[in-house]
Amino acid sequence: MNFNLALPVGTTLDRFIMRKQEAFPFATGELSQLLRDIALAGKIVNREINRAGLLDVTGAYGQQNVQGEDQQKLDVIANIRFIRALRNGGEVCTIISEEEDEVIQTGNKKGKYIVAIDPLDGSSNIDVNVSIGTIFSIYRRKSDTGCDGTMEDCLQSGTQQVGAGYVIYGSSTMLVYTTGHGVNGFTYDPSLGEFFLSHPDIKTPANGTVYSCNEGSINSFPEGIKQYLSYCKDNNYSARYIGSLVADFHRNLLKGGIYIYPATAKAPNGKLRLMYECNALAFIVEQAGGKAIDGNRRIMEIEPTELHQRCPLIIGSPEMVDKVEEFIKSEVAAV
């Protein structure tokens, strides 16, 4: 096998962020710093996940979060790591986390940004060596600096995001993010301790033949979704469901496909959380040419009323999302 050692050394995440910032001469560099802080915490959490089986950090933590879900030890560790990085970085005044009932005021009252975060996504896959992730949304505060972030700062719709991304801890670890100028993906090289640009300007395929949803609950899915799933089967689509939103989303983003978590009897408003799961991925998918809806509305236009609000999610290749919408609309028209 011939290796092309003449290939240039890749672009590091730091250099990429710096170059992007230079394109905006009036940018202060605070958002760039915030992205670096998230990348740093991602590296630390990556290390914790990789060693989890060797240390006493697998399994349940013994407490529940505000949503009544059992916390895993790594959920708690990732939460601590990200909060610490964001607090130390100084750019963030307030954090919304899946693992915390109330907002966290970092004490950085001059910080211009609010971050909403799912520190570890895919809890049920933590202890079985299956891909998991971190999801984040970044908002600019509306209130003046010099005080804690207010509820109004926190409850902004997805259209107000200034940045969003995820880290996927998979067969390799990647950071994928957008600041509203396309989507770029960086692969982590653990031996060098750096993220390198590996997936520039990601565009999602307009159509696909993969659908991802937990069909175990199909009996209580809305009629339009049931019909779409029959359509997928009639057309010999492939079913792929990992059960970690980040991993299911990432695969479909790159290869084309659709992820559906509708309202069910168990979760009448859907299971996923608007503020730190749906909005971030909706921003990314739209920047990559895809779509994200809750069945009736564009996800990013939902006005949040609660920190931990849930919503149904239909996200992925644009033509597939349009097709689901058609089934939903024709079902509504038939009633």
Ligand X SMILES: O=P(O)(O)OC[C@H]1O[C@](O)(COP(=O)(O)O)[C@@H](O)[C@@H]1O
Q: Which residue is nearest to Mg ion (CB)?
A: 121
Of 197 and 254, which CB lies nearer to ligand X in the complex structure?
Answer: 254
Angle between helices 245-255 and 279-287 (to 10 degrees): 10
Q: Read off the DSSP letter of residue 324.
A: H
Does position 286 interact with ligand X (CB under 6 A)? The reply is: no
Does position 252 interact with ligand X (CB under 6 A)? The reply is: no
Number of residues that bind ligand X (CB under 6 A): 12
Partner whose footprint covers residue 331, from Mg ion, ligand X, none (CB < 5 to 8 Å by kind): none
Is 124 annotated as a binding-site member?
A: yes
Does position 250 interact with ligand X (CB under 6 A)? The reply is: no
Shortest distance (Å) from residue 272 CB to ligand X: 6
Shortest distance (Å) from residue 108 CB to ligand X: 25
Is 234 annotated as a binding-site member?
A: no
For ligand X, what does the binding mask look like between residues 47 and 86, x meaning CB under 6 A?
----------------------x-----------------
CA angle (101, 104, 106) in 5-degree steps: 170
CB atoms within 10 A of CB 87: 17
Q: What is the dihedral of CA 72, 78, 84, 90, to 10 degrees?
A: -130
Tokens 């990789």 belong to residue: 50
Q: Which residues contact 11 (CB under 8 A, 6 or more apart)?
A: 19, 196, 197
Does position 316 interact with ligand X (CB under 6 A)? The reply is: no
Does position 121 interact with ligand X (CB under 6 A)? The reply is: yes
Q: Which of 333, 321, 331 is nearest to 282 (CA)?
A: 321
Does position 321 interact with ligand X (CB under 6 A)? The reply is: no
- On whether the CB atoms of residues 215 and 264 are closer than 8 A, the answer is no
Shortest distance (Å) from residue 47 CB to ligand X: 20
Does position 248 interact with Mg ion (CB under 5 A)? The reply is: no
Q: Give me the helices (H) in 189-278, please.
A: 223-234, 245-255
Q: Which residues bind ligand X (CB under 6 A)?
A: 69, 98, 118, 121-124, 214, 243-245, 271
